[in-house]
Amino acid sequence: MKFAMLVAWREFAESTKAKGFWISIFLMPTMLFFSIQAPIWLEQKATPVRYYALVDQSKTLAPAIESALEKNYQRRVLEALGEYSRRYSAPQSNSAANSLGLDNDGEATTRSLDSFIAKGGKDAALERLKPQLKSDAPAFQSPRRPYQVVNLPPDITPDSNLPAIADALKPYLRGDKQIEFNGQPVALSAAILIPSDIESKVVRPQTNHASRFTHHALTETNSPASLSTIQFWSINASDPRLHDDIEHAINSEIRQREYATRGLDVTAIRQVEQTYAPFATLNPKKEKGKEAVSTADTVRQWAPSAFVYLLWLAIFVIVQMLLSNTIEEKSNRIIEVLLSSVTPGELMMGKLIGIAAIGMTMISAWMLAVFGILSWKAGGASVLAGQMLGVLKSSNLIPLFSVYFLLGFLMYAGFILSIGSVCNTIKEAQSYMSVLTIVMMVPLLTMTFIPKDPNGGLARLLSWIPLYTPFTMMNRAAADPPLIDLIGTLVLLVGTTAIALWMTGKIFRIGILRTGQPPKIVEMIRWALRRDS
């Protein structure tokens, strides 16, 4: 065992000197940090303002559109105030959700938004928040407006026919020309053209007009500018938010008018639309009195999927490192020097222990980084980070991950050592690795399906296949799988890992000094099953 530990230390020391090891150490925390921070940065800094031109020849819908877009912007301001309050509130103050009326996810509700606007908006809210803030809190920065309306170019008359206006605006929409806003040239993102007779084109289910309108629209598909419909012109189909917001604003306004036309009380209808029955989702497995399912419970349900990906990535990276080291030492004849001092069994165990230590070091560094980043972000703008941190602290995901990583690594490392011992180059090992890679793709393909049915037939079947046990049982961890599955699969995995290492020892002893063409898989199995003389 002494010589095996010396080999293990050599493997550990050599691997820690490699650039790939340090890249792997820092890559995962960096990816986690940017997965939380990048969307915030992109939303605040990188997303450009969308400039749009609005031509309303009906003279009735433009105010409703502008009012709806302004209300959407005020929603962004309110939620930004919530993030600001969470980050800079004094420890003894109430949470932003309590003071601003936001829900537990930091999102504005219809009632909280209406109250926010009615009470004076941002300035009034900041005055109310002042007593709750730290003395050194910086000034609140309002989010940028995502959309900004611009005037038509001087050479385009808004009373012209819509096809002519559309043709005149096309160079601006394509980027060939720029439109002016506050004395500066800007790119025109979209144009909304509303015909004067739009009221007569409204589709009402109680009439036959809807079918005639649909037929007309379909027959004139190739010339949309000729239709008396609302036209939304834009070349950016990947961001439908402006289109959806304007369509929703117009349809809401039309429905409000329809209520008034039919003699219905618009205010009463709005109150009815905001009437709802409370609906609670409950989990019978939770403690009595705390059965309500929260957002944190949803995070807990899906958190194992992230661990499955991390487990897969860790095992795949570490066994690849083991394969490269083994083949490199064999091709450079270093193996022959090592075998002059240690037995093949000691060499194999040393390699396994050394690379396993590298893997545990990498995983430990990742876990520390995860806790550090989540702890940092949990006190700031990310509600999700706080929920994830709470899940990690209150669950058994970390211990299970450690167990399944170690057993999964040892099992797959046995296969990799068998491949590395019989191959002289990485090219020779590729045919074996392609098969193993295909086998390892199954957990990734089922990673998002298993949490939806964690105790279903597929999940239980994959759990009892040792090659997939670490990944599938990790994915089922939040669903409290039956005890027979939890203990039975663990015992099966331990037994399979022991058998795999025993067979690997036989293949390693025969193949490590072998030269020439690598043997076929059938021949390797025959070596593993051969009785020692």
Torsion, Cα 106 379 80 102, to 10 degrees, reads 20
> Sheet of 188-194: strands edge to edge?
147-150, 50-56, 188-194, 231-233
Please state, as a whole number, how many other Cβ atoms lie within 10 Å of the Cβ of residue 154. Answer: 7
**How many Å apart are CA 359 and CA 407, to the nearest integer?**
12
The pLDDT of residue 79 is 84
Establish how many alpha carbons lie within 13 A of residue 224's alpha carbon, considering only the half-sphere containing its beta carbon. Answer: 9
Residues whose CB falls within 8 Å of the CB of residue 374, separated by 6 or more in sequence, listed in order: 385, 386, 388, 389, 392
What pLDDT shows up at residue 221? Answer: 45
Which residues, other chains included, contact 412 with Cβ-Cβ below 8 Å and sequence gap of 6+? 315, 319, 436, 440
Distances (CA, A) of 258 to 204, 269, 340, 369: 10, 12, 92, 57
pTM of the full structure: 0.59
CB atoms within 10 A of CB 138: 10
Query: What is the CB neighbour count within 10 angstroms for residue 533?
Result: 3
In three-state secondary structure terms, 12 is helix
The amino acid that residue 15 corresponds to is: S
Give the Å distances, CA to CA, from 191 to 56, 74, 167, 504. Answer: 11, 23, 11, 68
Query: Which tokens go with 401?
Result: 């991950």
pLDDT of 132 reads: 80
Please report the pLDDT score of residue 226 as a whole number.
46
First-to-last alpha carbon distance for the chain, in angstroms, is 23
- Rounded CA gap, 439 and 64, in Å? 57
Q: Which of 21, 18, 10 lies closest to 350 in space, CA to CA?
A: 10
Helix (H) or strand (E) holding 246: helix 241-261
Q: Which residues of the chain have pLDDT under 70?
A: 20, 32, 36-47, 91-99, 104-106, 206-228, 276, 278, 281, 283, 285-286, 290-300, 374-394, 531-533
| Helix, strand, or coil (residue 179) | strand
Tokens 């072998």 locate to: 514
Whose CA is closest to 449, among 316, 315, 304?
Answer: 304
Q: How far is CA 217 from each of CA 205, 214, 232, rounded to the nearest angstrom?
A: 17, 5, 15
- pLDDT for the residue 244: 92
DSSP state of 195: -
How many other β-carbons are positioned within 10 Å of the β-carbon of residue 203?
A: 12
**Which amino acid, 338?**
L
Ranges of H-type helices in 17-89: 19-41, 62-88
- The pLDDT, as a whole number, for residue 107 is 76
Q: What share of the chain is helix, strand, coil (3-state, %, to 5)?
A: 65, 5, 30
Cα separation, 103 vs 119, whole angstroms? 19
Q: Whole-angstrom Cα distance, residue 379 to residue 168? A: 51
Q: How many helices (H) and strands (E) does the chain have?
A: 20, 6
Residues 415 and 505: beta-carbon distance below 8 Å: no
**404: nearest Cα among 311, 492, 317:** 311
